[in-house]
Amino acid sequence: MTATPDLRPWVQALIFCATEPITVEQIESCLRETLDVPDLTATQILATLDALDEEFAATGMAFRVRAVAGGYQLLTEPAYQAVVEALIKQKSRRRLSTSMLETLAIIAYKQPITKTAVEQIRGVGCDYAVQKLLEKELIELRGKAETVGRPVLYGTTARFLHGFGLIALRDLPQLRDVAADEDAPPATASGRGSDELNPTE
């Protein structure tokens, strides 16, 4: 039986280069394609991810391995938030307007929801905001409502989770927490606390 090589450098290379959270299944597929690892298991990959995270923590690296949106990703430690935010602010083309942020927040908390319902909550039209959020793949169509006219329903995407560093929708801040900390900017994939979203393009 061939001994399984140290998977850490290989897995590290994959999560470093992945532009979106990479799943255990994707890691396993890549490793099987390039290494002689016939007995490779998902358990070994998970153990390798844990080992990498512990290694990064022990050596004082600026990032950690975190579970995000059904996969794994390197996320910057909160201590380095300020310098990362400085870089994000330079990328103004990726910035979401106040209108888009408000629309996205309503969809995130109320999904699936129609555009009309979003407009009723905001008190203004949101055609442009919805269109731009669709283009950025932060929201998607979720079928049609069982009401007169069968209006389209909208919901958030895995890219939304990725952009805000969330594992699942249940990790969204509770509305009472948002109200108590309304001046705190939203999270980014590089760490909590930016006033901009930085989705991967």
2 domain-assigned? no
93 domain-assigned? yes
Tokens coding 201: 């393009």
Same domain, 47 and 97: no
Same domain, 98 and 140: yes
CA-nearest of 88, 91, 85, 62 to 75 is: 62
Write out pLDDT tens, residues 116-130.
999 999 999 999 999
153 domain-assigned? yes
Number of domains, the chain:
2
CATH number of the domain where residue 18 is located = 1.10.10.10
Rounded distance between C-alpha atoms, residue 66 and residue 63, angstroms: 9
Same domain, 90 and 175: yes
- SS3 category, 121: helix
pLDDT tens for the chain, 201 residues long, are 556 789 999 999 999 998 889 999 999 999 999 999 888 999 999 999 999 999 999 999 999 999 998 999 999 998 998 888 777 666 544 578 889 999 999 999 999 999 999 999 999 999 999 999 999 899 999 999 998 889 999 999 988 888 787 888 888 887 654 444 444 444 333 333 333 344 434
Which domain range does residue 32 map to?
8-76
Same domain, 13 and 50: yes
Tell me the chain's radius of gyration from C-alpha atoms.
20
Tokens coding 157: 């995407």
The torsion angles phi and psi of 142, rounded to 5 degrees, stand at: -125, 40
Last residue in a domain, options 76, 99, 116: 76
- SS3 category, 151: coil
Same domain, 52 and 108: no
Q: How many CB atoms lie within 10 A of CB 101?
A: 18
Largest CA distance in the chain: 67
Same domain, 175 and 118: yes
2's CB contacts (< 8 A; 6+ apart) are 36, 37, 38, 39
